[in-house]
Amino acid sequence: MDDSTILHISGLRLESVAGNVIVDNIHLQLQRGEVLGLIGESGAGKSSIGLSSMCYARAGVHIAAGAIVLGGIDIRTLEAEGRRQLRGKRIAYIAQSAAAAFNPAHSLMDQVCEAPVLHWLMTRPEAESWARELFTALDLPDPQNFGKRFPHQVSGGQLQRAMAAMAMSCRPDVLVLDEPTTALDVTTQIEVLILLKSLIRQYNTAALYITHDLAVVAQVADRIKVLRHGKEVEEGLTEQILHHATQEYTARLVAVRGAAASERASAATVMPETVLSIQDCHAYYGDFHVVRGVSLDVKKGETVAVVGESGSGKSTLARVVTGLLPPKSGTISFQGAPLPASLELRSKELKRRIQLVYQIPDVAINPRQSLLDIVGRPVEFYFATRRDEMLERAKELMKLVELPEDFLARKPGQLSGGQKQRVCIARALAAKPELIILDEPTSALDPLVAEEILTLLRKLQGELGLSYILITHDLDVVHRIAHRTAVMLQGQFVAFDQTDRIFDQPDHPYTQRLITAVPEMRVDWLDQVLAKRAAA
């Protein structure tokens, strides 16, 4: 170990209170000014490793073995007070959800200045002027007065940058970034990414960059470590991982993104008849005008994607179609007949024909019901079948979504995220619907699992002639299963056309911005974007 090594973790092993091994035999080394990407699916142990680099373990987990050497000191041998002295000062943490990490009762300046003052590094005025310098470096609006605001008064992207300022407030040697851009919109993500990268370079800080998105980490990391089930799969230079992965798992992670470019939804399933048609629809939350004059039509066997950032009104549009939020004006017709605006006015038969699949499968199915209850209930409810027929149909549905029959006796807690989403799809299919609204069906899932769900959705569309309205922010998903795509901005469609045309010839500047903001699986993508911007 030479002088430039700032963080050295060897033989790290984390165990849960129950004795399960969460992370095993992890070695990592970080030089000054170097960025190491930690990548893996949920449950791979990325965050636990990130936290243990500060010798911190969440409730229920403890560090069972290994050495964590920060700047020549093995922090595992220190007492709690000694560790506290290091945290924030020499090693700092940036959490995934800035909104949840800031205290809403204090101004941003108070929270950014807290650490350096507490560690006796700076006086309060010094800390404030340093904070303003950081706000400027992070391109925050009105850096002189930005600190006076409270967390709820700034946007998500700004808050994430304020958190970066907080982490940098003591000029730490090591930054731990735990999915810093995952909760952000794609156009915001790129800005935060650019600023984080320049911040790390400017102050020559070493960083652990934790993410599940290989394309994002490729832009900032010098090296990447791939993790799975708490064990290291492989580690290599970023370039090497992207193009010459030695492990099959890594290759699959890389390939998921690559597949998007080659696959397109086939038009074979689309039939001429219109299933749903919305004309000039306006919807409000109280006085807030959310959906502003949207017109949309969906044909039988077709997938129409509605793309937009958070707050664009796309989920509200889904609520309008399902009848949960009756629109103020505009007409909706379903299979040629007008569709009553509110859910209460719709017949059981109409309710049956339109089904919804939610974003987060964990809360979309009742944890206290067995899968038979969950999947069988719509069958019983809509078709008044006998118990044995219902059981037959439930088995059939399990087969359709490729789950084993004996899962019917299980409760949701015994399933993985991807399996739960399959149950949600089975529940929707149980009603034999004509239209399924998919509200971000894959965004809570790991990339490889999401891939399987997309394949399943396409297969079902082909077999059953279903129409989908796909609500999403993920352009990759759109690319692959949508026949037509609508781009939504501030409650309006700025573009609505064949998916290919939207992607190949984006007319509207917002569509262009959206498409160019999606990170590509290349090391130099971000630099090229910057170069292009500089040229323009």
Partner 1 sequence: MKLFGHKLTASAAFGMLVIALFIFICLFTPWLSPYSESANVGGTWDEPSMKMVFGADQIGRDMLTRMMYGSRMTIGVALAITTLSFLIGILTGLVSAVLGGWVDIFFTRLVDVMLSIPSLIFALIILGVFGSSIPTLIMTIAVLDSTRVFRLSRALGINLRVMEYVEAARLRGEGLWWVITREILPNAWAPLVSEFGLRFCFNFLFIAGLSFLGLGIQPPYADLGGMVRENADAINFGMMAPIYPATAIALLTVSVNLVVDWMLSIDARPSGAQAEL
Q: Is 364 in the site for partner 1 (CB under 8 A)?
A: yes
Candidate residues 431, 487, 488, 502; the one interacting with partner 1 per rule CB under 8 A: 431
Candidate residues 153, 266, 366, 528; the one interacting with partner 1 per rule CB under 8 A: 366
Residue 365 CB, nearest approach to partner 1 (Å): 5
From 16-24, 215-223, 261-269, 465-473, span contacting partner 1 (CB under 8 A): 16-24
Q: Is 360 in the site for partner 1 (CB under 8 A)?
A: yes
The H or E element containing residue 94 is strand 91-94
Closer by beta carbon to partner 1, 237 or else 345: 345
Closer by beta carbon to partner 1, 59 or else 337: 59
SS3 label, residue 56: coil
Q: Is 348 in the site for partner 1 (CB under 8 A)?
A: yes
Closer by beta carbon to partner 1, 56 or else 503: 56
Contact 160, 192 (CB under 8 A): yes
The H or E element containing residue 487 is strand 484-489
**What's the Cα-to-Cα distance from 20 to each of 25, 53, 484, rounded to whole Å?**
14, 20, 47
Residues 28-57 binding partner 1 (CB under 8 A) are 55-57
Please provide residue 293's backbone torsions phi and psi, each rounded to the nearest 5 degrees: 70, 60
Q: Is 58 in the site for partner 1 (CB under 8 A)?
A: yes
Q: Is 13 in the site for partner 1 (CB under 8 A)?
A: no
Contact 484, 304 (CB under 8 A): yes
Strand 329-334 versus strand 337-338 pairing type: antiparallel
Q: Which tokens in the block code for residue 116? A: 């350096």
How many residues sit in the footprint of partner 1 (CB under 8 A)?
39
Q: Which residues neighbour 205 within 8 Å (Cβ) at sequence distance 6 or greater?
A: 33, 168, 171, 172, 173, 174, 175, 199
Residues 314-343 binding partner 1 (CB under 8 A) are 322-324, 343
From 78-86, 135-143, 185-193, 400-408, span contacting partner 1 (CB under 8 A): 78-86
Q: Which tokens in the block code for residue 121? A: 């590094």
From 282-290, 374-382, 395-403, 507-515, span contacting partner 1 (CB under 8 A): 374-382
Contact 131, 169 (CB under 8 A): yes
Contact 148, 107 (CB under 8 A): yes
Residue 257 CB, nearest approach to partner 1 (Å): 29
Q: Which residue has the tokens 């352009």?
A: 475
Residue 3 CB, nearest approach to partner 1 (Å): 29
Q: What does the binding site for partner 1 look like in residue numbers (CB under 8 A)?
A: 16-18, 55-63, 80, 83-84, 322-324, 343, 348, 351, 355-356, 358, 360, 363-369, 373, 377-378, 381-382, 427, 431
